[in-house]
Structure 1
Amino acid sequence: MEIPAELGRVLVIVPTYNERDNIERLVGRVREAVPSVDVLVVDDNSPDGTGKVADAMAAADEQINVLHRTAKNGLGAAYIAGFRWALDRGYDVMVEMDADGSHQPEELPRLLDALTDADLVIGARWVPGGRVRNWPLRREVLSRGANTYARLMLGVPLHDSTGGYRAFRAATLEKIGLDDVDSRGYVFQIDLALRALREGLRVVEVPITFVERTHGASKMNRDIMVEAMWRITQWGARERLGKLRRPR
C-alpha cells in the first residue's frame, strides 16, 4: 500500500518489554504491509534482550529506529517518549501498535485511509465488523465492561476507547498536549481519546481483528485495571460536577 500523499511521513511506534520472540516478526510484517512507513521500537530495558534484537534490525534497515529507555515505567510513558521523538523529527502521523502480534499490521492501511478524514483513528474490537480471537470469555467481558463503563461515565461516543491500535495526526497530539498526561497503563488510551474529543477533534473507529498473543506474557495486571477504573471514575465525577456548577 502507498500512504495517502496528504498524510505525509508516518511512524509506527512499538513499545517493548520482554518481546524478543515477537518483535522481529511483527516489524517485518509492518514493513511488508506498508513499506514506506518508518518504525520506532521503544524498549524499556527488556531483560530478555529485546533491545539488542531491535538494534540489529535497525542496523540492517534504515527505516527502523530504536529508542532505549532505562526502566519499565508504563505504556503511557513509553508512547509519550515515542511521540516526542517523532514530533522532534517532523513526522506527520504516529501509529500505536502492540509488539505481541495482537494488532495486525495488514490492517494498518485501513487506519491510514480513515485518517485522511479524521484527527484520530482507533482500531476497534467492539464495533460491527470488529472481532477478537482466542480470548477467554472472562477477558472479553472485562474489556467490554470497561468500555461500557467509560462510555457511560465520560459520555464519549466510543465503543473501544481502550483500544491500543490507533493513528494520530501530529497536529492532534500537539493540540491535546502531552505535558500533563500521567496515565501509565491502558487508561492512557482513554485519556488521549477523551482529550481529543474535548478539543472538538474528529475521532473515528474502524473495525479490526484483535488476536491474542501466542508468545510471551500479557502485561495486563490488577494494578493496571485499578488505575483505569479509578481514573475513569475521577474524570466522570469531575465532568458531572462541572456541569452542575455551570450557570443555566
Structure 2
Amino acid sequence: MSTPQTATLYPIQAPAAVAQPATPRIAVLVPCYNEEASIEKVVADFKAALPGCTVYVYDNNSKDRTVELASKAGAVVRREPLQGKGNVVRRMFADIEADVYVMVDGDDTYDASKASLLVEKLLAEQLDMVNGARVTDWENYRTGHRFGNVLLTTLVTMVFGKRTQDMLSGYRVFSRRFVKSFPVLAGGFEIETELVVHALEMRMPIGEVETPYKDRAPGSVSKLSTFRDGFRILWMIGKLIKEERPMQFFGLVALALALVSVVIAWPIFTYFMETGTVPRLPTAVLSTGLMILSFLSLVCGLILDTVTRGRREMKRLKYLEVPAPDFDPATVKGAA
C-alpha cells in the first residue's frame, strides 16, 4: 500500500516594504510662451523658495529667448509643439515623475515665496490640490478679466459646489495621485476650469492659500484674450456640465421643450374644448413633436447619468491606486 504524500507548506513572505524617501521630490512646472522678460527670475525665485526642487520649463513654440534664459537660470527645458496651455500641461503631467507638483505661470505675477506654504499645507493635511487664490487691488486685472473671473467662478460654484474663491488661478500645488489620475482634455486656457471641476467631481481633499498677485514684468504681454478665451472657458464649462451632470443638463433641456410645447398647444386645447375641432393642425403637430423630444431628452439624461456614474467610479479607482502624500511638512519649512 502506498504511503500518502504530505504536502510541504512554505511560509508566505510579505512583500518587502518600499523605502519612502525622507523628503518629497518637488517639481515646479512652468508652461511658457514668449516669456523672456520674466522667466529667468521665475526660475531663480522658485529654486530659492524650494531648495532641492527641479524646475521644468516647457516651451510652447516661443519666438524669443525664453529657452536660452530658462536654461541659463538652471531649469530643465523641454518643448511641446502643440500650441495651448492645456496641451503643455498634458505633456508635463505625463512626462514628469515627482511627489509634489507646483504649477505656476512664467510671467512672474505670482509670489514664489508662498510656494513652501502651499506645499506644507498639501503635505500637512494630505490634500490633493492647494489653490493659490490671488489677492490684489484689482489694478493688475483688466476689467474684462475681473468680470469673467467672477462670472465663470460663480457658474462653476453653482453647478459643482463652492470650494475655491479663484477658479482661474495659474498657481497651484498638486499631489502625485491628482496628477496621475487626471485625464487632461483641454487644449488652452480652459485647463484651469478642468482642473477645478475634476477635483470637485472626484470629491478630492483640496485647500486654498491666499497669495499676492502683481503686475507683469516690463516687456511681458498677456497671452490671454478676454473674449476669445473667455468664450472657450464658458464652452468648456458647458461641456463639463453635459458630461459630469447629464441628468441636470438634459433635464433642463427636457423641461424647456415641454414648456414650449405646452405654451403652443394651450390655445389649440382650449379651442378644442369649446368647439370639438382642432384648428391649426401644423401647430398641433409641432407641439406633439416638441413633447416627444422632451421625453427623449429626459431618457438621454437618465441613461447618461448611469454611464457617468460608471466613469466616475473608474476614475476613482485609478485615483486610489496612487498613495496619498505622506511626508513630513517640516522638510520644506523655512525654504522661503
The answer as to whether partners of 1:153 and 1:232 remain within 8 angstroms in 2 is no
Offset, 1:6: 7.1
Higher relative contact order (CA 8 A, sep 6+): 1
Aligned to 2:88: 78
Cα deviation digits, residues 190-228 of structure 1 (max 9, x gap): 212211222221111111111121331101113321110
Percent identity among equivalent residues?
Answer: 26
Write the letter of the residue equivalent to 2:95: W
2:76 to 65, 76, 82: 65
The answer as to whether partners of 2:43 and 2:70 remain within 8 angstroms in 1 is no
**Pairing 1:65-214 to 2, within 5 Å after superposition:** 65-71=76-82, 73-87=83-97, 91-116=98-123, 117=125, 118-125=127-134, 130-131=135-136, 132=138, 134-175=140-181, 177-178=182-183, 181-214=184-217
TM-score (structure 1 length as normaliser): 0.83
Aligned to 1:47: 63
- Separation in 2, partners of 1:148, 1:182: 22
Report the CA distance shift for 1:136/1:223 in structure 2 as closer, same or farther (over 3 A). Answer: closer
- Separation in 1, partners of 2:118, 2:178: 15
Report the CA distance shift for 1:238/1:68 in structure 2 as closer, same or farther (over 3 A). Answer: closer
Write the letter of the residue equivalent to 2:197: L
- Separation in 2, partners of 1:166, 1:41: 16
The range that moved more, 105-114 or 194-203, is 194-203
How many residue pairs align between the two structures? 227
Q: Unmatched 5+ residue regions in structure 1?
A: 59-63
- Separation in 1, partners of 2:228, 2:23: 37
Offset, 1:100: 0.7
Offset, 1:83: 1.8
Aligned to 2:247: 242
The alignment yields a C-alpha RMSD, in angstroms, of: 2.2
Offset, 1:239: 4.3
- Separation in 1, partners of 2:245, 2:187: 24
Report the CA distance shift for 1:7/1:186 in structure 2 as closer, same or farther (over 3 A). Answer: farther
Q: Unmatched 5+ residue regions in structure 2?
A: 1-20, 252-301, 307-336
User: Who wins on radius of gyration, i.e. which is larger?
Assistant: 2
- When you count strand as a share of all residues, which structure comes out higher? 1
